[in-house]
Structure 1
Amino acid sequence: MIRQQKYNIVRLGVIGSGRIAMRFAPEVKYVSGTNLEGVFNPRIDSARKYAEQFELKFFTDDLNSFFEKVDAVYIASPHNTHYEYIRKSLEQGKHVLCEKPLVLRASQAEELYQLAKDRGLVLLEAIKTAYAPGFLKLLAIAKSGRIGKIRDVEASFTKLVSGQYRELAPEENGGSVTELASYPLLAIVKLLGTEYKDIRFETFVDSNNIDLYTKIYLNYENAVSTAKVGLGVKSEGQLLISGTQGYIYVEAPWWKTQYFEVRHENSEHNEKFFSKFAGDGLRYELSDFISMIYGHENKGFKLTPKESIVISKIIEFFLQREETMTMKY
């Protein structure tokens, strides 16, 4: 049982002050029960600018000082720093909401979720789509039998990136899979489950071995699926769920899930659904995070530890792929 906290307002701190942290700060004001107190960054000038921009109480490059002033942590640092920051936060008794990908190895994910459980703390991966109202409605309808048995899921997320960005840096574990695959893999795992039978990758890489476009094929006992991600190739960002009695089309950007259609052989039976996706959507994951801290464990179904671990496992498989599975871009 997650323990009830003695404080009324969760004092929240941010680790990292880059682009996603910039989008996160304005979202906090829409979530009750918490306040964004301060920021940690080993680059103190970046921390100072962030604190000044969002009028925070403190900024620091000292992690121990940071932990003394917060009850919970939002980690928005580069991918390859997540494991250490999560572990240190949990060891200091802090609840953790961490940006995707949670970690780059399944064994690390398993270790951290167990540590959180042992300490009575909340650890939640921040794949914002998992907590969005429209996506939750989509899952309910897809699993209701409206389109029969689901036999195929195709999910795509691409964006064009060029220049000196973290997404393309080998030392930052950059690439389309580490940067974007969490989203389409989320849809596949939520719809088809975690027990896939086999996995295959097809990918284009640049001269630094950074994948610029990748297809991930996951086969199940009675279904197939494809996750398509890219930083150097642009494609339609849609989600298509095919069933034995119809299909569901979610228009781009599907990961915000604002509009989708249930389509049948007889078009007269088609249905349209609309949902609001407020702001950058980070308020939804934060709201669940705070609610779970207060003891509402049932919120955890939106992205379970097992699902999060499987997504980490797939990303790990890709990072360990053989050269024969790649093509030069």
Structure 2
Amino acid sequence: MKMGILACGGIAGIMADTISHMEQVEMVAAGARDYERAKKFADQYGFKRAYGSYEELVADEEVELIYVASPHSHHYEHIKLCLEHGKHVLCEKAFTVNAKQAEEVLKLAKEKNLLLTEAMWVRYIPMCETLKEVIASGVIGEISTLTANLHYVIDGNERIYKPELAGGALLDVGIYALTFASICFGDDVARITSDAVMFDTGVDAQSTMIVTYKDGKVAICSGGTGGLSDRQGILYGRQGMIVVENINNFESIKVYNLNRELVKTYEAPPQISGYEYEVEACLKAIRAGKTECDEMPHAETVLMMKRMDGIRESLKIRYPFE
């Protein structure tokens, strides 16, 4: 598969390094808002061509699949740009700014019979299925509660605190905690309550969501931008607990009994970065003529966007372009 990358920031570098180790991917082109930045990126990672505009990138007839790595405030316009030029798209999370944008571009992808999928990478990694299997085994009995957190020290980055860039903790890191809850407990949600500490700019510096499910389970999810957390996801059962190290890329799954004794550990298999799994899923789906990946269905993307729309509404967070 001949691949290009749109936007040449830090996360794009991780993807570029990853696909450089994948035999089934040919690194064709990188595009940025200025040529020198794109050329430096292309030379560093081994792309054949560099472009100083996104329009030039999508016009490259050799490129088949584009990884969109721009800030999520711009995903909607960049996804549309790629689709309108006949490119399959793997787009970073948050997929778009809101559900309305997500539904529009997903409809366009289906109309053009092109793959479009969200790079919520934890849904593609093998440890995601392992976790589901461990939960389903009943090893810790009936599960009542989970907690999940993801906090980094990133509040000095303008994409985090600027409303015009769809800033805030929720769409950047809170989405991982909500996704962890969805993976473990599903999506039959009764209600969500939330609270947040705000930047002076009016977007959330840190936010906490309590997700209550119709069967009585509760997920307590938090994301923040001004402190370092342990990144753990913990499930609480009648016969023990399950501890997942790093909800941002499951490193291990540990099972404890009622005496808090470790009884089983599942380690993540060796990986390049973890991004390779979403790329492999794209290649498989494209070859099968699908417009979505089984691991990340379009319906799940829209559901999560609607969920975050509701949370933002409850917190009175509205972006200037909405």
Q: Answer whether TM exceeds 0.5 for this pair.
A: yes
Check the 8 A contact 2:212/2:218 in 1, yes or no: yes
Q: Which letter maps to 1:57?
A: K
Tell me, in whole angstroms, the C-alpha distance in 2 between the residues paired with 1:296 and 1:75: 21
Asked if 1 retains the 8 angstrom alpha-carbon contact of 2:116 and 2:292, the reply is: no
Equivalents in 1 of 2:289, 2:255: separation in Å? 32
Per mean C-alpha deviation after superposition, the further-off stretch among 276-285 and 73-82 is 276-285
Matched residue, 1:229: 223
Gaps in structure 1 of 5+ consecutive residues = 1-9, 325-329
- Is the 8 Å Cα contact of residues 114 and 291 (structure 2) preserved in structure 1? no
| Alignment partners' CA distance in 2, 1:206 and 1:268 | 41
Tell me which of 108, 113, 135 is aligned to 2:101.
108
Is 2:20–2:46's contact at 8 Å kept on the other side of the alignment?
no
| Distance change >3 Å, CA 244–CA 110, structure 1 → 2 | farther
Query: Take 1:273 and 1:293, find their aligned partners in 2: how far apart are those partners?
Result: 31
2:84 aligned residue: 91
* Separation (CA, whole Å) in 2 of partners of 1:247 and 1:296: 41
The residue type paired with residue 308 of structure 1 is T
Matches within 5 A, 1:183-262: 183-222=176-215, 223-251=217-245, 253-262=246-255
2-side partners of 1:173 and 1:21: how far apart?
Answer: 19
SS of alignment partner, residue 228 of structure 2: coil
Deviation at 1:83, TM superposition (A): 0.7
| Offset at residue 162 of structure 1 (A) | 4.2
Which residue is equivalent to 2:151? Answer: 158
Secondary structure, aligned partner of 1:256: coil
Structure 1 CA distance for aligned equivalents of residues 191 and 155 of structure 2 = 33
- Coordinate RMSD, CA, aligned: 2.3
**1:181 alignment partner, SS class:** helix
Deviation at 1:101, TM superposition (A): 0.3
> 303, 314, 319: which is aligned to 1:310?
303
Aligned length: 314
Please name the residue that 1:30 is paired with. 21
Aligned to 1:285: 278
299-308 or 124-133: bigger deviation: 299-308
182-191 or 96-105, larger mean C-alpha shift: 182-191
CA distance in 1, matches of 2:291, 2:155: 41
Q: How far 1:98 moved relative to its partner? A: 0.4
- The counterpart of 2:70, out of the listed 56, 63, 77, is 77
Residue 18 (structure 1) shift: 0.7
Q: Which amino acid aligns with 1:114?
A: K
Which one-letter code corresponds to 2:3 in the other structure? L
CA distance in 2, matches of 1:113, 1:150: 35
Which structure would you say has the larger RCO, counting Cα contacts within 8 Å and 6 or more residues apart? 1
- Is the 2:155–2:205 Cα contact (8 Å) retained in structure 1? no
Tell me if structure 2 keeps the 8 A contact 1:258–1:277. Answer: no
- Residues of 2 paired with 1:310 and 1:207: CA distance? 29
Q: Distance in 2 between matches of 1:121 and 1:144?
A: 37
Provide closer, same or farther for how the CA distance between residues 174 and 290 of structure 1 changes in structure 2, counting only shifts above 3 A.
Answer: same
> Secondary structure at the residue paired with 1:212?
strand
Q: Encode CA deviations 1:215-251: one digit per residue, 9 max, x unaligned.
A: 0111111211111101013332100112344321113
Matched position secondary structure for 1:311: helix
Structure 1 residue ranges, 4+ long, deviating more than 4 angstroms after superposition:
266-269, 296-299
> What one-letter code is carried by the residue in structure 1 that aligns with 2:33?
P
CA distance in 2, matches of 1:118, 1:307: 19
Mean CA deviation greater in 219-228 or 138-147: 138-147
Counterpart for residue 123 of structure 1 = 116
Structure 2 unaligned blocks of 5 or more: 318-322
**Which of the numbers 155, 176, 180 marks the counterpart of 2:173?**
180
Contact 1:13–1:38 (CA under 8 A) maintained in structure 2: yes
Task: From the superposition, tell whether residues 322 and 156 of structure 1 become closer, same or farther in structure 2 (CA, over 3 Å).
Answer: closer
1:121-150, Cα deviation, whole Å (9 max, x unpaired): 211111121111223211221123333343
Q: Look up the equivalent residue of 1:133 and give its one-letter code.
A: P
TM-score normalised by L of structure 2: 0.89
